[in-house]
Amino acid sequence: MAENKINSPLVRDSWFDNVKAFLIICVFVGHLANGLFSTSNWWVVALQNFIYVFHMPAFMIVSGRFAKKRIDTKDWQTVVSKMVIPYLIFQTAFLVIYSSLAATPSKFNYFNPLFGLWYFLNVGVYTIVTSYLKKHEWLFIASIVAAVAVGFCGTTLYGGFHRIITFYPFFLFGYYSAGMSFDFCKKPGFRVCSYLMFAVIGLFVLYNFKNGNKDISWNLLCMNKNYAYIAKAMKWSTLDTVAHTVFRYFMGFIGFFMVLGMMPTKKTFFSYIGKHSVYVYVLHCILIVILRELDEDYDLLRVLTDKWRLLIYCFSGVPLSFVLASKPVRKATRWFVAPDIDIKRMMRRLTGVEEKEVK
């Protein structure tokens, strides 16, 4: 019983807090590096491509792991209060931000997630859908087939629907492996291999971009475009594009285990970032959206032409992650980022159940 409790994803796990902390910092740094000013700096483009090899696939696997209880119990109320309602709030807030900056998206609606918000939509849909589909033994294989096949569509699926299909295998893997301890990732030999693999992937990406090679497709890493679009941009054949897609999934799963192998298993000074990663995710998205729009109007980032200033800017996401996850910031923004919405109580009040129980 004690062993099961330790391995349960429902118990606070410092190891996975550290994993989430590392991944959310990568998200922040990756978004900072992904700007209009970065296109002329090969190492910045290489940095963002390197991060995108593993960070969101791993994040989806972790999300699937910790969604297991909600899926198995069909806890729709929690899904609505923790994922659906926040998504609607953030999507609306982003529209207000864009509008105030005179940069209103032309295709705004609640099925077309604005910057970074596709994650909330995906996890909400996955949690609900998986509870009905999990009984099918072939679901995981079918999800991979669907994820590869969706690229053959004549056009990229509308809004966030393309990513809903392409990222589903990662979420499912997290769900199905939720009861696994992954203790082999803690072994010294595996840890050494993880650090070596991290270095090799990083050096490979840097080498390719430094020499002007285009063996890595940004759209392929983001998993939000069809094969025709990617093939045209990269001058690949359809067969090459499919092969690269399959390899992309392989690297996504490998990247998850690589991150597990690199992260400490005990509580650290950065564990709290993983515990409160939602604050970093939401607040950094708002910060970057505002910064990018202001830069287009006022050229605020013109000082980043110097490589050292650009370096400081990109990696400012590391200290800022500590700030955004800090207690003062959480306390000040909780009403927006993590509103206390009790759907169960609201439903009881609407149906009059609560009053009857009191009597």
Confidence at 9, pLDDT banded by 50, 70, 90: very low
Question: Which candidate, 259, 94, 104, places its Cα nearest to that of 193?
Answer: 259
Mean pLDDT of the chain: 85
Give 109-168 pLDDT, tens digit per residue.
777 888 888 898 899 999 999 999 998 889 999 999 999 999 998 777 766 788 999 999
Beta carbons of 166 and 153 less than 8 angstroms apart: no
Q: Which residue has the higher pLDDT, 297 or 179?
A: 179
Domain tally, the chain: 1
Query: What pTM does this model have?
Result: 0.89
| pLDDT average, residue stretch 23-30 | 95
Beta carbons of 113 and 159 less than 8 angstroms apart: yes
Task: DSSP for 154-193, please give it.
Answer: SSPPSTTHHHHHHTHHHHHHHHHTTT---GGGGSHHHHHH
Give 170-195 pLDDT, tens digit per residue.
999 999 999 999 999 999 999 999 99
Our measurement of the distance from residue 36's CA atom to the centroid of its chain's CA atoms, rounded to an integer in Å, reads 21
User: Which residue range is the domain that position 102 belongs to?
Assistant: 2-358
| pLDDT average, residue stretch 256-271 | 96
